[in-house]
Each structure stands twice: as C-alpha cells, then as structure tokens.
C-alpha cells in the first residue's frame, strides 16, 4: 500500500530525536542530576561493589554515548526501510523530519526544560510547509515525465 512506509518513517524520526537527547545527555551537566534521581530511586539492584559518584556518572555518560550510536543505527535502518517502500523519497523525508522536529521539541521540553516558544513552532511550520510544497512540485514533475513517456 501507499502508506506502508509511514510507521517506519515515524519511528525513524523518533530515533533521530532520541539520538539527539542522548548526545545532549552525554555532555550536559543535567546528567549528574538524572544520575542522582536514578541512584536515589531505589529501583536499581544493589551492586556487589560500591560505585563512587564519579564512576556512576562516567558509566551513565558511556551508556548515553552507546545509545547515540544505537539510536542512529535504528534511525538509518528504519529510514532506509521506509525509502524502499515509499513511492517517493520526499514523502519519507517529510514524515521523518516532521516527527524528528516535534519529538525533539517535546523531549527537549520534558527532559531539559527547554521552552517551546511560539517562534520555534512557526519556524518548524515554515520548514514543514516548504518541504510539502517541494514534495508537491516534485510529484507534478514526475507525473509530467511519466505522461510524456506513455505518449
């Protein structure tokens, strides 16, 4: 079907956004705050050795670093899969980009308390609108080419 690429394109955008989150957590000072929340939650199994504050922070940064690559690998795998099933690469790019934008904004707001300013949404809307307009013009060009071939 024409829409079989949409779920993989959406997931691709989500993993792209998650990769950005882990990249920011890898280098952000908030990582120590998250580490403290996790350590104090009591959900972690007690380790057979004492983990220093420094060691737990390094462990968390290494985990974030690995998750950057994991999320990027999943993003590219899903993006390629959706390119193979989509009628047009532009459609995949639109879905992926829109989801990546939105998920990045929402995750940035929830995790890093970044403001979701109206100006950001207006800018994202313009980028999305521009991409859709490009997609429509590409479709018209492809339709013209295919109708000339059949003449």
Distance separating alpha carbons of residues 114 and 106, to the nearest angstrom: 9
pLDDT for the residue 151: 62
Token pair of 86, please? Answer: 């989509």
* Residue 64: strand, helix, or coil: helix
Question: Once rounded to an integer, what is the mean pLDDT over residues 109-126?
Answer: 88
Q: Is the pLDDT of residue 18 over 80?
A: yes
For residues 107 and 22, the answer to whether their CB atoms sit within 8 Å is no
pLDDT for the residue 144: 80
- pLDDT category at 40 given cuts 50, 70, 90 is confident
pLDDT tens string 68-84: 999 999 999 999 999 99
Highest mean pLDDT among 23-32, 65-74, 108-117, 121-130: 65-74
């Amino acid at each position: 079907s024409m829409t079989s690429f949409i779920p993989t394109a959406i997931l691709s955008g989500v993993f792209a956004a998650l990769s950005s989150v882990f990249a920011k957590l890898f280098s952000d000072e908030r990582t120590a705050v998250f580490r403290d929340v996790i350590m104090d939650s009591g959900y972690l199994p007690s380790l057979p050795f004492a983990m220093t504050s420094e060691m737990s922070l390094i462990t968390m940064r290494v985990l974030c670093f690995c998750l950057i690559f994991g999320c990027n690998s999943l993003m590219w795998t899903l993006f390629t899969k959706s390119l193979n099933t989509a009628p047009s690469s532009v459609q995949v790019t639109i879905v992926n980009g829109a989801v990546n934008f939105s998920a990045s904004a929402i995750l940035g707001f929830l995790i890093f308390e970044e403001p979701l300013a109206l100006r950001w949404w207006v800018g994202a809307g313009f980028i999305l609108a521009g991409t859709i307009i490009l997609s429509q013009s590409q479709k018209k060009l492809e339709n013209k080419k295919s109708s000339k071939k059949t003449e």
